[in-house]
Each structure stands twice: as structure tokens, then as C-alpha cells.
Structure 1
Amino acid sequence: MKNPNYTVIIQWSDEDNCFIASLPEWGEFCHTHGNTYAEALKNAEEVLELLIESAIEEGEALPEVRKFAVSS
């Protein structure tokens, strides 16, 4: 089961010399990385899929999706 509505934040890290992809709904320490933006996104999608599968297998509730609010 995939849920494309989870947040993925990708930022360049000078310290690590790579792109860091964060999955904030899954906790502040849920990160992966990649040498390119595309690689970081691919890795984040794979991690997200594993997190969802694992939560379902363990009978745990999935985290609530954060909504992006635009003020008018």
C-alpha cells in the first residue's frame, strides 16, 4: 500500500555533501540521503514504502498526513 500524500523534504547538506530527504510524519530522525536530488527522492520513496508495510504488518496506525495550508 503506497500513500503518496506523506511529506518528503529534500535539502542539500554541506556537512554531508549530499541531499538529505526527511519524512517528518515518521519522526524527527527519519531521514535518508542521495548524491542527487532524484536519488534522495527515490530512496525516500523506498523508505516510505517500507515504513508503511512495516506499520501495517505490526498492526500499528499510520501517522496522520500533514496538510499544507495556504493562507489567502
Structure 2
Amino acid sequence: MINLYKQGESAAQLAREYGIGYSTVHKWIQGQAKTQSGKSPDEIKAMEKRLASLSEENEILKKALGFLAQK
């Protein structure tokens, strides 16, 4: 069922097709995502946000260093 979802079928379609509740299918999909990476989608999203913030901070510090080196 997870493979069908990855191939493009929606969780709702799979639930109807197999006579399973949508929430059950959704939990299976979320559980699979967590077991493959070791992190839940929410944890991954938070880490990506943190990475973007740190990358931006790093760029600011590089510019500041260049500015201070000119003086």
C-alpha cells in the first residue's frame, strides 16, 4: 500500500479501494516516512527551517567579516 501511495495514489483513494479508514492509511504512510529517515516529517521540516536560518546567519557573518577586514 505504501508503494501505491509513492506511485501517486492518494491516501483517500487507497482507503476506499481497500476498505480501510483514511486515518489508518495516513498513519501507515506517516509511520513509514518516520522509519525510513528516523525522523518524523515535522522533525524534518523543523530541521530544514533551522538549516535555512543558520545558512542565512552564516552569510551575514561572512559579509561582516569581509567588511571588517577592509578597515
Q: TM-score range by the shorter chain?
A: 0.3 to 0.5
| TM-score of the pair, normalised by structure 2 | 0.37
Write 1 or 2 for the structure with the bigger share of strand: 1
TM-score (norm 1): 0.37
